[in-house]
A and B are shown apart, each in its own frame.
Chain A
């Protein structure tokens, strides 16, 4: 696996469940038991950041291929959304939705890179990282950054094997693989 370089094209995808997320519900109950009584809802997404050598294939082609890569995405139970380095604001969407991204310190991804770049046709893929994004809500409003950080320290991240960062949730484009990715690029917040 080649390391990514600053010139690489970055594509971040988020994979949410469209069926009930039992893990998110378990976290909701656990955080309440740990004292966060005001917590009303927890959302979770798998985050994969992919780096492609330039010139990268067209974005629509990449998203379509990811939509057919069963190792990342299953259209029967997932929703796929994405944001690319061409669109991303360094400050996220500027809104008030904080999300924590938790990653393993020593995740080994070279096998997955080879699989995606080979059989699944993601040309130019050089490297990737994986993590889990968590969003917390109180009475319909997003939880504060401090609360999200607290949840990471209490439960969502193990400091001995993982790292977390809290950021503004980026505005992502929702893709619908079964309709053809290119035809479904309505800008839509995953909320």
Chain B
């Protein structure tokens, strides 16, 4: 079985690339770091893309704003238009939003906190997981612990925009309970209308194995620390979706 190829994009200031590559590889994908200084055209040879977390370009102007204008993101946007999978995690999600890949949705400063927040959160799969490649192998109500770590992670937009997102079931992942960052409709992860692009604010790659989450979950303390935890399934779904789209030999 061919292992799908995935580029984990690194901008100046990205800081979650190592664990993102690990999670992709562990889920059965061939992942490698793709540096901002590489030829963007090389990106076209990959099956999918992950924009990792961090502070691309130091979040200058707005989180993700500068990276969203880069030639790398222009190529990723084109490839997404052809149906390739794109996963944006935290800062990567901010880049996708700034690049307009989610429609008229923005990621704004956390409210009411008004500052960076770092905590473990529970994220729940919404009613139509099959409409998004990254949740398509999960059941509605599936709960995952993830690491929230951002200051500008509040999904926002007009009421009409969020009505449409609800109608199209594009809010595929929600915070269990109130959103710590004040996100509209408790949105933690929003996919595009085609379902091949997911912007996810909390980090699944920082909660992908038992050793990441055992401190918060006593049931995991006696198990193999490398056992996949619930959030690992985001990457497993991505791998499964990529394999499902492989052309027949």
Contacts and interface: CB of A to CB of B under 8 A. Distances in A.
A22 interface: yes
A20 interface: no
A184 interface: no
B122 interface: no
Contacts of B57: 26
Contacts of B109: 104, 107
A158 interface: yes
A30 interface: yes
Interface of B: 57-58, 60-62, 65-66, 69, 97-98, 104-109, 111-112, 114, 156-158, 161
Given A34-B69, A111-B114, A155-B69, A160 B61 contact: no
20 contacts: A26-B57, A26-B61, A26-B66, A30-B61, A30-B66, A104-B108, A104-B109, A106-B111, A111-B112, A111-B114, A155-B65, A155-B66, A160-B97, A160-B104, A160-B105, A160-B106, A160-B158, A161-B106, A161-B156, A161-B157
Nearest to B112: A108
Contacts of A106: 108, 111, 156
Contacts of B112: 108, 111
B62 A158 contact: yes
A87 interface: no
Contact of B65 (A107, A158, A159): A158
Q: Which 7 A-B pairs have the closest CB atoms?
A: A161-B106, A160-B106, A161-B108, A23-B60, A26-B60, A160-B104, A158-B106
A104 B62 CA distance: 11
B93 to A, nearest CB: 14
A128 to B, nearest CB: 14
Contacts of B114: 108, 111
A171 B108 CA distance: 31
A30 B105 contact: no
Contacts of B104: 159-160
Interface string A96-139: 00000000111110010000000000000000000000000000
Nearest to B104: A160
A33 interface: yes
A34 B68 CA distance: 12
A126 B61 CA distance: 28
Contacts of B107: 161
A160 B60 contact: no
Contact of A30 (B69, B97, B108, B158): B69
A155 B106 contact: no
B117 to A, nearest CB: 14
A156 interface: yes
A22 B58 contact: yes
Nearest to A111: B114
